[in-house]
Structure 1
Amino acid sequence: MNDAKRTLTSPVVHIGLASRPEDLLAFRTLNEEWITRFFTLEEADRRQLGDPEGQILAPGGRIFVAHLDARTVGCVALRPTGAGEFEVSKMAVSPEWRGLGIGRQLLTYTIEQARALGSSRLILGSSTKLESAVKLYERVGFRHLPAERLPPLAYSRADVFMELNL
Structure 2
Amino acid sequence: RKDIAVIPYEPRYQSAFKALNEEWITAHWEMEEPDHKALDHPQEYILDKGGHIFIALYRDEPVGVCALCKKDDPEHEYELAKLAVSPGVQGKGIGVLLCRTVISKAKELGCKKIFLESNTLLRPAIRLYRKLGFKEIPKSHPAYERVDIQMELVID
TM over 0.5, shorter chain: yes
- Give the equivalent residue in structure 2 for 1:69: 59
> Structure 1 length as normaliser, TM-score?
0.87
CA shift in 2, pair 1:138/1:38, >3 Å: same
Q: Number of residue pairs matched?
A: 153
Between the aligned partners of 1:24 and 1:86, the Cα distance in structure 2 is 21
Matched, 1:135 2:122: no
Q: Residue 44 of structure 2: SS of its match in structure 1?
A: helix
Q: Any runs of at least 4 consecutive aligned residues in structure 1 with deviations exceeding 4 A, and if so which?
A: none
Contact 1:128 1:159 (C-alpha < 8 Å) held by counterparts: yes
Runs of 5+ unmatched residues, structure 2: none
- TM-score, scaled to structure 2: 0.93
Among candidates 136, 161, 166, match of residue 150 of structure 2:
161
* CA 11–127 in structure 1, closer or farther in 2 if over 3 Å, else same: farther
Work out the CA distance in 1 between the residues paired with 2:45 and 2:134.
Answer: 25
What's the C-alpha RMSD, in Å, of the aligned pairs?
1.3
Gaps of 5+ in 1: 1-9
Q: Provide the C-alpha distance between the structure 1 equivalents of 2:50 and 2:142, rounded to a whole number of angstroms.
A: 18
Aligned-pair identity in percent equals 39
In the alignment, what sits opposite 1:105?
97
CA contact (8 A) 1:65 1:72 kept: yes
Report the counterpart of residue 13 of structure 2 in structure 1. Answer: 23
1:125 is aligned to 117
Write the deviation string for residues 34-83 of structure 1: whole angstroms up to 9, x where unpaired: 00011110011011111110000110000100111220010001111135
* Alpha carbons 1:145, 1:163 under 8 Å: kept: yes
Q: Which residue does 1:14 correspond to in 2?
A: 5
Is 2:134–2:151's contact at 8 Å kept on the other side of the alignment? Answer: yes
Higher-Rg member (1/2):
1
8 Å Cα contact 1:75/1:92 also seen in 2: yes
